[in-house]
Amino acid sequence: MLSGAQPTADSYHLGNYIGAFRQWVALQDEFEAFYFIPDLHAITVEYDPALLRERTYVAAAQMLAAGVDPSRSALFVQSHVPEHAQLAWVLGGVTGFGEASRMTQFKDKSARGGQDSASVGLFTYPILMAADILVYQADKVPVGEDQRQHVELTRNLAQRFNHRFGETFTVPEAHIVRATAKIYDLQDPTSKMSGSSASHAGVIDLSDTAKQAAKKVRSAVTDSGAEIRFDPEQKPGISNLLTIFSVLTDRSVDDLVAEFADQQYGHLKVALGEVVGDFVQQFGSRTRELLEDRGELDRILAEGAARAREVAVPTLAAVYEASGFVAPRPAGA
């Protein structure tokens, strides 16, 4: 199993934690897991190199703070494993231009900045993502709904390559996270909590102080009416708060609804504000501890990359062989 989350902000947010990292942590019991920080993907839009380096460390520390266990799972940085980029080049040869042009994320992102400012890297991003997945022969790829089309492309490329050049790749499946693990922007509870949203008022960053986080929760947009019940259609705001409450306290939504049944929205927000505040406080101190010892982080990431290469190197060798490349041999041997 394999997954990654882009280091494109100064911190991951609560949506990443609830929607992704918590599943990653649970899945490491069941699967041989590879988790990585896609720094090669991060350079497909304008960025600052010094910031990328710092964000990559923060990303690693936050994944560890969330419970990714480097003794069970390989945690690594994409650019430390050159086979990702090498495989992406080969896959480019079996990807149709029209096929790549149909990727909705590219269309959205390039429309936002204007066609001319979109890079070729942004266009080929899904091919690199396919390489990330196929180089580990992954069976399952936990991703959000927004990445489903990229996993679909990955499946098509794997099948096409296998068909043309012989069985080489495992055809992976997307493991879409459950609806209850999806959380929404506190200011706009109909859109997903996202690092790229215009305002950060509805996004709880994992690096927020307890005070900042509690304030964002207390200012959350709620629905008309006054009744506290779980109803994502009619009451997206309250339902979102109940989901977050349930996940962070390990209590069922029913149980919470029963407790708050006779109370007002404000009571729920104050109580959840404290829960979220405590959570980010603990998460933040664990992250800072990890960030203070860069040597130890470097060691964990090097070990993760070495484990990753144990799988990636033989896959790439099989791909090169199937592709008809002459194997390099030492002169005179």
Residue 4 C-beta: closest distance to ligand TRP, Å: 4
Tokens of residue 186, six digits? 């506190």
Of residues 129 and 153, the one with the C-beta less far from ligand TRP: 129
Work out whether strand 140-143 and strand 34-37 pair parallel, antiparallel, or are unpaired. Answer: unpaired
Q: Report how many helices (DSSP H) and strands (DSSP E) the chain contains, helices first.
A: 14, 5
Cβ closer to ligand TRP: 123 or 230?
123
Q: How far is the CB of 25 from ligand TRP (least distance, A)?
A: 16
Within residues 115-174, the interface with ligand TRP by CB under 6 A covers 129, 132-133, 141, 143, 147
Return the number of the residue (2 or 300) whose C-beta is nearest ligand TRP: 2
Is 182 among the residues that bind ligand TRP (CB under 6 A)?
Answer: no
Q: Are 125 and 145 contacting, i.e. CB atoms less than 8 angstroms apart? A: no
Local structure of 205: helix, strand or coil:
strand
User: Whole-angstrom Cα distance, residue 57 to residue 296?
Assistant: 11
User: How far is 311 from 160, CA to CA, in rounded Å?
Assistant: 21
Q: Decide if residue 6 touches ligand TRP (CB under 6 A).
A: yes
CA separation, residue 139 to residues 29, 85, 170, 226, 244 (Å): 15, 20, 7, 46, 29
Task: List the one residue from 4, 189, 277, 304 that touches ligand TRP (CB under 6 A).
Answer: 4
Tokens of 80: 């430390």
Find the distance separating the first CA and the last CA of the chain, reported in whole Å.
Answer: 39
Query: Least distance (Å) from ligand TRP to the CB of residue 144?
Result: 7
Q: What's the token pair of residue 37?
A: 């920080």
Encoded tokens for 214: 């509690």
Contact between residue 91 and residue 161 where contact means Cβ atoms under 8 Å apart:
yes
Cβ of residue 302: shortest distance to ligand TRP, in angstroms? 20
Out of 1, 12, 41, 103, the only residue in the binding site for ligand TRP (CB under 6 A) is 41
**In the complex, minimum distance from the CB of residue 208 to ligand TRP, in angstroms, rounded to a whole number:** 21
Sign of CA dihedral 131, 133, 139, 144: negative
Least distance to ligand TRP, CB of residue 143, Å: 5
Tokens of 242: 């109940």
| From 15, 38, 70, 232, residue interacting with ligand TRP (rule: CB under 6 A) | 38
Count of residues engaged in binding ligand TRP, rule: CB under 6 A: 13
Phi, psi of 319 (to 5 degrees): -65, -45
- Separation of alpha carbons 229 and 238, rounded Å: 7
User: Which of 3-11, 160-168, 198-206, 296-304 is the region at the interface with ligand TRP (rule: CB under 6 A)?
Assistant: 3-11
**Per-residue mark of binding to ligand TRP, 68-87 (x: CB under 6 A):** --------------------
| Cβ at position 148, least distance to ligand TRP in Å | 11
Interaction pattern, residues 259-298, with ligand TRP; x per rule: CB under 6 A: ----------------------------------------
Residue 7 interacting with ligand TRP (CB under 6 A)? no
Instruction: Locate the DSSP E strands across the chain.
Output: 2-4, 34-37, 74-77, 140-143, 173-176
Q: How far apart are CA 177 and CA 247, in angstroms?
A: 14
Binding flag, residue 2, ligand TRP (CB under 6 A): yes
**247 is a site residue for ligand TRP (CB under 6 A):** no
Backbone angles phi, psi at 271, to 5 degrees: -65, -45
CB of 8 to ligand TRP, least distance (A): 8
| Residues at the interface with ligand TRP (CB under 6 A) | 2-6, 38, 41, 129, 132-133, 141, 143, 147
